[in-house]
Amino acid sequence: MADNHSADEPLLLNLTDAENENPPRSTFATALVKWVLGVAMWLVLGLWVAVFFMFPSDAWTELVESWTSVTSGSIYGITAGSIFLLCSGPILVIVFLAIASLMVDGKKALQLKTSSKYPRIRLRTFPILVDGPFGVVSAAEFIGICLFVAFAIWALYAYTMQNLNVLLEPSLSSEAKWILMLTVIGIRFAWIGMFCLAFLFLPISRGSVLLSIIDIPFEQATRYHVWLGHLTMPFFTLHGLCFVIAWALEGQLLDEILEWTDEGIAILPGVISLLAGLLMWVTALPPVRKKNFELFFYTHQLYVVFVIFLALHGGDFYFSLAAGGIFLFVIDRFLRFCQSRRTVDVISATCLPGGSVELVFSKPANLRYTALSFIFLQIRELSCLQWHPFSVSSSPLAGRKRISVLIKVSGEWTSNLKSKVLHMSGTEGENGLHSQSRSKITASVEGPYGHEIPYHLTYENLILVAGGSGISPFLAVLSDILHLTNQGKPCLPKNVLVIWTIRKSNELHLLSTLDTESTCPNFSDKLDLEVRVYVTRESDPPLEEGNIDEGISTSVSPLSRGSGMSVLVGTGNRAWSGAYAISSIVGFVVSMALLDIFYVHPFNILSWWYKGLLLVGCMIGSVIIFGGPVIYSWHRWEKRAIAAEEAEDGENDDKSQQSAHSNTMQDNIVPKDRALSWTTHYGARPNFQEIFMSVSECWGNVDIGVIVSGPATLQSSVAKQCRSRNLRRRALHPVFHYNSHSFDL
């Protein structure tokens, strides 16, 4: 097929910045520095993993003891000078290297990596497991799972061999041996749990530089946190259970549980921490989480209790094993807190036919995000605590100062949101009177979060598979492609097949909101776009063929006083985010040194639980005291940038843009003759085997990006076909690259 842009040409990522149409190519020096930093990161990561793998062995125990004795005379003593440096220091070093790599990359990192001329299977996009408790698992993810399982098996084996020596002790009675055995086993389970905990908080640091450097979006990393949680909590539970049985055999169960000693392990804080962890774990299990999401959400806030009392339980020595990952989460959490305090303008709220609500928010023009991004939304009139994730439905190119989401009404929170919008529009009400509480929508936003690189633009051939409201992010993807094509910018996608499965035809209206001809006139000459819709619960069209029940649509522009979204977090400014992380880490090191020099050593502080509390206090204090001024400066810089932008554009121009958008939305409420066209199949489900076979024969020996947005069953069906086609691939057939874009907390 004809293509004006070969697969070897660079492709822009910074799509919101029209000035960067021709970014300079990376110099050899820049590429060399990036390579060196990348190798250094992998080496440090390998050494860090090796520390945990070798920890259960006797030889490594002797080495650690030697290392501790050498470093115990430092300013930080045995904790930060040895254990923290050995077990938590490497991840902080990786953060420094990652920030340096992103800074060296600069704006050139905002270019898309070119695809190969020769299709090949990639570990990250090749599904290995498509069913089971883990869901769809790629080859790269499967390797990671195997590493953690191997570590757990190796640690259990090594510790078991060590524990057998207890049974050979002749001076102990049979009961004493079993009590000692349970105690030793309980300690071993605690060690393994702490090693898993070192990784547990890394995937849920939403704006983490670690996720950016490997281009793993937060919605995908969340499942790693779930997996690690299900691996960590059984070890902690067995740890507590072993000690409970041992104390019961001794007849000192209640006394031991209530014990809180100054020197050594404080038992009562450990009990509190374990109970908090169990509550989080049980309510996070799929049967509980799906039936009662609010229970899961609120109990998961007990992570604060879990972490603080864990530090009190094990003291600074044991807490240092996992402190690095927890500290990075604290850094990210404080930044998100600062962003989410802002009230964001709601430009418009629209109730669409089919039961969906569209919200449009104000944003600064310099806020960067990709089409496949998420935001977390809070509506204070509905709940002051609940945050809900939604896919962005607008392209970064669709509007410089607005961003929109489509929300399907499927639960209590979304139902209340729709009712509120209807009340505000006057469609519903009590005797035509509206209380003051119904006169506005007070929204706060976190994000956007997503891929650093819009990977949907790296494929010349795309298959977008959506289920129900999963079409929302694909509207942004299609808009992205159409805008790029219309503006003449490099854009790889030339063949796009959209497969959308819905229950009833009243949801078809969502496709009408994408006016392809207005966005890119004569797009069919440049883009082969095909949309197939499958209506599963209707055997025939509700009206005449080709007509759709438009239902009722209402729109209102709430009088929400606030400002645009903050550029903090998300894919924001790398210089500021890097400075914030570095200042917080350096501040933590400095605060720990000052604390030891002027307080711990002079006053001979020996209490383990108190020193653990001081360690947590240094984490929180360093982020606020040292990182806070950077956030404040970042915020001031943002305000000056927005002020300069408004001065350039003019206040009247800004208002006219908002008004034009409002009119456009109203016009798009009904299908147009020039709107996106599609074929509808009633009473049928997509046969992915036939679809993929047809695509293989038609598109030939190419890379095909498959993106799925929908329920787990849909993801599994598509992943199964991708795996099957790739394993049975012939020379002239394509390689299917599986990607998932479904968020599941």
Comparing CA positions, the residue from 2, 73, 45, 106 lying closest to residue 578 is 106
- pLDDT confidence of residue 503: 86
Cβ atoms of residues 81 and 71 within 8 Å: yes
Q: Where are the beta strands (DSSP E) in 430-553?
A: 443-450, 461-467, 495-502, 528-535
Cα(108)–Cα(10) distance, rounded to whole angstroms? 10
Cβ neighbour number for residue 150 with a 10 Å cutoff:
11
Cβ atoms of residues 738 and 384 within 8 Å: no
In this structure, is residue 368 part of a structural domain?
yes
- pLDDT confidence of residue 656: 45
In this structure, is residue 493 part of a structural domain?
yes
Residue scoring higher pLDDT (102 or 722)? 722
pLDDT band at 431 (very low <50, low <70, confident <90, very high): very low
% of the chain residues with pLDDT over 90: 24
Domain span holding position 545: 346-429+437-565+670-686
User: What mean pLDDT comes out for the span 185-203?
Assistant: 91
Q: Where are the beta strands (DSSP E) in 88-246?
A: 111-112, 127-129, 137-138
pLDDT at residue 6 tops 50: no
609-654 confidence digits (pLDDT tens): 998 999 999 999 999 999 999 998 888 887 787 777 666 665 555 4
Average pLDDT score, the chain: 80
Min mean pLDDT across 331-335, 339-343, 387-391, 512-516 is at 512-516
Cβ atoms of residues 127 and 136 within 8 Å: yes
User: What mean pLDDT comes out for the span 291-310?
Assistant: 91
Cβ neighbour number for residue 174 with a 10 Å cutoff:
8
pLDDT at residue 728 tops 50: yes
The phi and psi torsions of 524 (rounded to 5 degrees) equal -65, -20
In this structure, is residue 735 part of a structural domain?
no
Using alpha carbons only, what angle is made at residue 729 by residues 727 and 733, rounded to the nearest 5 degrees?
A: 150
Residue scoring higher pLDDT (331 or 491)? 331
In this structure, is residue 116 part of a structural domain?
no
User: What mean pLDDT comes out for the span 169-177?
Assistant: 73
In this structure, is residue 253 part of a structural domain?
no
Q: Two tokens at 72?
A: 């115990």
pLDDT at residue 554 tops 90: no
pLDDT at residue 670 tops 70: no
Cβ atoms of residues 453 and 214 within 8 Å: no
% of the chain residues with pLDDT over 70: 80
Cβ neighbour number for residue 417 with a 10 Å cutoff:
23
- pLDDT confidence of residue 23: 45
Most confident of the following: 98-112, 163-177, 219-233 = 219-233
Residue scoring higher pLDDT (420 or 201)? 201
In this structure, is residue 85 part of a structural domain?
no
pLDDT at residue 398 tops 80: no
Min mean pLDDT across 419-433, 543-557, 675-689 is at 543-557
pLDDT at residue 278 tops 60: yes
Pairing relationship of beta strands 703-709 and 735-740 according to DSSP bridges? parallel
- pLDDT confidence of residue 108: 42
pTM for the whole thing? 0.85
20-33 confidence digits (pLDDT tens): 444 444 577 888 88
- pLDDT confidence of residue 19: 39
Is 59 buried (19+), middle (13-18) or exposed (0-12) by CB count in 10 A?
exposed
Cα(54)–Cα(187) distance, rounded to whole angstroms? 17
- pLDDT confidence of residue 606: 82
In this structure, is residue 275 part of a structural domain?
no
pLDDT at residue 234 tops 90: yes
Three-class HEC string of 288-319: HHHHCHHHHHHHHHHHHHHHHHHHHHHHHHHH
352-390 confidence digits (pLDDT tens): 777 788 888 888 877 778 888 888 898 888 888 888 888
pLDDT band at 311 (very low <50, low <70, confident <90, very high): very high
In single-letter form, the type of residue at position 185 comes to I
pLDDT at residue 432 tops 70: no
In this structure, is residue 44 part of a structural domain?
no
Residue scoring higher pLDDT (567 or 211)? 211
pLDDT at residue 657 tops 60: no
In single-letter form, the type of residue at position 183 comes to T
Min mean pLDDT across 105-114, 343-352, 638-647 is at 105-114
Total tally of structural domains belonging to the chain = 1
180-190 confidence digits (pLDDT tens): 888 888 998 99
The phi and psi torsions of 85 (rounded to 5 degrees) equal -65, -35
